[in-house]
Amino acid sequence: MFREQRLGEISEEILDYLSSRRADQRILHADLLTDRAHLLMLKERGLVAEELSNKILSALDEIETGLPLGEGEDIHEAIEAAVIARVGPEGGRMHTGRSRNDEVATCIRLALREELLGLMAEELSFIRTLLRLAGEHKESIIPGFTHTQHAQPTTLAHHLLAHADAAFRDLARLKDAYKRVNQSPLGAAAFASTGFQIDRARTCELLGFEGLVENSMDAVSSRDFILEVLAALSIAMVNLSRLAEELILWSSSEFGYLELDNLYASTSSIMPQKKNPDTAELARARSGSVIGSLMAALSICKALPMSYNRDLQEVTPHLWRSLDWTRSTVRILAGCLSTLHFHLERLEESSAQGFSTATELADSLVRITGMPFRTAHSIVGRAAASGGRPELSQMDSISLEIAGFAVSEAGFSEEDLRRALDPRGNVALRANTGGPAPEEVGRMIAERWASIAAEESLLEERRKRVDGAAEALLSQGRPGVKEHEG
């Protein structure tokens, strides 16, 4: 039965509506690190006694081991209540000079930093898979497409490198966003700083941040770092979706270019002959979900006045979901690629279909006879319209009509025609920078492996900085550990 709510009464539904506890589980570890850093800074500044600091640190240790946190509107309130339950009212001194506003902003950045490090490592693994496959298929001739129609022959390595280069750009966007994520808002308090003489640079150092979000109002109210990450995730998922679409098309009976491993496909519930590319289809769909999260976050942030507004609480669940979707998609597609089987004979056979060598035939006419390209284009276009493989006599007849001379009389031979119509020969000629010729593809692959090594080194440096800061922070205040000297 409906019960009328009394004036001033807070119902369970309202409490649940306000609560962020479910989403806050993602930032529990980050919150405890933030508490430790702030507390140690307060102790060093003489704002909290050492004995009390050690008691609070012990309480935080107990919470870290999985002690139930009880009730609370959010994880921050729950941690504070758990500390006070163990230390007494004095435990509340851990929040001296700090607001929940700068605390939550710090926690999101710490947790997001960790997620980005993981995603960048997974992107590198994905790129390594593409490069390994490309190295195996420098000589594998395949059809190239424009408008989903046969266009020109290329190689499987060249095609895979296109996806690898897109993934490198995705990684670059994540790296660039990481620099703006890894900035400390801690110490901004509610938005107008605090009258306590705190040391923001010290907490920045303790938490392994690379710098400060200096303006205290900007520090608590900005979420553009989340929007930037969501934009980078959306672009990455669009690129992954393009790969997924090709896996779906190429595995169909109409194309027949590859077969997915059973682990990444399923059988129809009613049609036993079918092998459905389920994982690739979900990858394609989840790109839409990530884009939707970006649009939702942009819409939430678009008209918020300075400084903090509760609306921002709704942004972070979109971030965590999008990270989960993107990270799992990168891992799944890497596994799918590493286990699939290419039908190389079918690919090479298909590479000559649709008169895909027409461009090289026109180019050959230009190189050998000296005619303008547009004239050669018209001659080859007329030959293509007649269907079938053109003969030299046919080329002569069309050329006489369009150019006023027979191409054979201008030095174009049967051997030239054969070479121009050969897909493998077409590919070999395209040795310009970025082209599909095997030696040029080999150069690109080697350069990208070198880039991988450099990226892994940078990622390792960032990982060591973050992990080192956390380890040093966790050891601070323990017996036998030398205190900071400042």
Cα angle value 477/480/485 (rounded, 5°) = 60
Q: Can 147 be counted among the known catalytic residues?
A: yes
Q: Can 268 be counted among the known catalytic residues?
A: yes
Question: Please, are residues 212 and 183 in contact by the beta-carbon 8 Å criterion?
Answer: yes
Q: How far apart are CA 357 and CA 417, in angstroms?
A: 11
Helix axes 315-339, 224-250, angle to 10 degrees: 30
Look up residue 100 and give its two tokens. Answer: 């929940």
Q: How far apart are CA 178 and CA 113, in angstroms?
A: 7
- H or E element in which residue 149 lies: strand 149-155
Question: What is the per-residue burial (b if ≥16 Cβ within 10 Å, else e) of 145-159?
Answer: beeeebebbbbbbbb
Nearest to residue 105, comparing CAs of 190, 200, 206, 198? 190
Which burial class, exposed, middle or buried, applies to 139 when counting CB atoms under 10 A from its CB (0-12, 13-18, 19+)?
middle
Residues 19, 76, 99, 147: which is the catalytic one? Answer: 147
Q: How far apart are CA 272 and CA 274, in angstroms?
A: 6
- H or E element in which residue 68 lies: none
Question: Please, are residues 237 and 325 in contact by the beta-carbon 8 Å criterion?
Answer: yes
Q: How far apart are CA 69 and CA 90, in angstroms?
A: 18
Q: How far apart are CA 203 and CA 185, in angstroms?
A: 10
Look up residue 164 and give its two tokens. Answer: 């690898």
Q: How far apart are CA 67 and CA 363, in angstroms?
A: 74
Q: How far apart are CA 322 and CA 37, in angstroms?
A: 29
Nearest to residue 97, comparing CAs of 41, 166, 154? 41
Residues 252, 268, 393, 475: which is the catalytic one? Answer: 268
Helix axes 414-421, 392-402, angle to 10 degrees: 100
Rg (CA), the chain: 31
In DSSP notation, 302-315 reads: TTPPSS--GGGGGH
- H or E element in which residue 61 lies: helix 50-64
Q: Hey, which residues are catalytic here?
A: 147, 268
